[in-house]
Amino acid sequence: MRVGYARVSTGEQDEALVQQMARLEKTGLDKIFTDIKSGKSNNRKEFNKLIALCKKGEVKEIVITRIDRLARSMVSMSKAIALFEEMGIKLTILDAPIDDISNPFSKFSINQMGALAQFESDLLQSRVRHGYNYFREKNKAPSHVPFGYARIDEKYAPDLSLHESGKTNWTIAREIIDWMIANKSSIRGTAHHTQACYGLRWSVTGFHNWIKNPVLRGHTRYNVHNKQHKPDLWDIRKDTHTPLIDASTDEQLQALLIDNQRIWGGNRLQGNRGTGLLSGQIYCGCCDGKCYVSRKDKDLLVCNKRNVYGKSYCSNKKATPLSKVCEFVDAALAEKAIILRDFVFSEDEPEPRELVELKAKLESLEKIPKDDVIEDAIAKIKLKIQQHKKVTPNLALVDEWVQTFSDIRYFQLLPQDRKSELYRKFLSAVVIDNGSIIRVEFVDIV
C-alpha cells in the first residue's frame, strides 16, 4: 500500500493542509492520513494509525511533502525513520528527493533537515514565550472572556451589550449572583434558574468555574490551560479592572459555596456514567440527551441534560426503570430474531416484474439517438433499477442474532458484561420519555 501523510499545527492552517493533500493526491496514493497537531506531539491520532499499519507490514511507501511534516522532534523522527528502514518502507519527500533512507548520505540529509525543523520549532516556541511574558507584563486580558465581561482595548470591561431580555449582560450577571445569595441556592439550582429566566445554558461544572473565576472579582488570571481546577498554579494579577463581585459579596458567596459543599457534596452530577446495562445507549425522547441511572436509585433512568440544565430545557420528568427498558429491549430482540430466522437470501430468486420492465425500457432508450430528455430519462431509470438491487446481508451477524436471542431466557442468564457487549453489538439506541419506551433502534445487518 502506498500512503501519504499531511500535517499542520493548527486549524487556522486549513489552506496549507489542503495544498499538501492536493500534492499528495497527484502521486496516486491509496490512502492519505492527516493530522492537525504539533509535530512535536506523540499523540497524533492519524500518525499513530500510520505507524501501526507500518508495523503490520501493510505499507510499502510513505509520501510526504517535507520532512518537518513527519515530525519536528529529532527523537520522533529518528524512531519513525528507523522503523521505515527496518520494515523496508520507502520514504518519498516531494521537496527533497531521497532515493534510499538506508543510504548514509540520505540519512545525513534527513538528519540535517530534521535538525533544522526542530530548530525552527524551538525558535518559534521561544518567540511565543517572550510574547506571552510581554502580554502578561501589560496585564492584558486573555481572549477567553467570562460572561458579564467584554474585551475592550485588550482589557476586561463590563459587557454592556443587550441581551434579548432588554438587559445588559453585565446586569444579568449581577442579578444571577444576587439571586443565588438571596435564595441560598445551590450551584445546580442557580444554573437551572439561569436557563429558565435568561435562556443561558450552563452545566454545573461550567457555572461553578464561572462563579469562582477571579476575573469576576476584578483580577486577571493567566496559566489556566489544563489547570482549571488547580488555582494554586494560576498567575493572578490583582485589581486590573472593574469587579462584578465586590469583597462583601464574595464573602457571602464563599460561605454559601462551603455550605453547598456540606449539603450537596459539591453539586456533582448524579448519573452513573459508563456502568450498567445499556449505558450510553439510552436517549431522551424530548431533548435527545443521554439517560443514565440515578445515584440514589440505580434502577431509575434520568435524562442527563435535564439533570444539568433543568426542567425548562427538557420536559422528561418521570424516571424510567432500567429493568423495564431491558425487558422491553429483550422482547424486541427476540421478535426480531424470529423475523431473521425466516429470512432467506437466494441468488436464484426471480427478479420482480417491475425490475424486468425497467431493464427493458433502459435497453430500448439506449438504442435511440440521445438528447437531454433521453439522457434524463435514462438516468432516472438507472436510479430506479439501483433501488431494486438487493443488499447482501451480513449472514454471520444474522446467524449470531438468531442463535443469541431465539431463546431469550438463555440470554438473560448471561453475565452482565457479556449482555452489555451483545447490546452494543446489535442495538444503536433506545429512546425513552416520561417513563415510557418510545422505540428501539437496531443495528442494520440486512
Which positions are annotated as active-site residues? 9
Which three cell numbers, joined as nine digits, stand for 10? 493548527
Q: Say how far apart CA 287 and CA 315 lie, in whole Å.
A: 8
Angle between helices 187-198 and 247-264 (to 10 degrees): 110
Per residue in 5-39, is it b (16+ CB within 10 Å) or e — as a string? bbbbbeeeeeebbeebbebbeeeebeebbbbbbbb
Cell of 358: 425497467
CA distance 262 to 441: 42
Cβ within 8 Å of residue 414, ≥6 positions away: 422
Is 55:42 a contact under the CB 8 Å cutoff?
Answer: no
Three-state DSSP at 183 gives coil
Backbone angles phi, psi at 185, to 5 degrees: -85, 155
Question: Measured between alpha carbons, how far is 279 from 292 in angstroms, rounded to an integer?
Answer: 7
Bridge pairing between strands 220-222 and 235-237: antiparallel
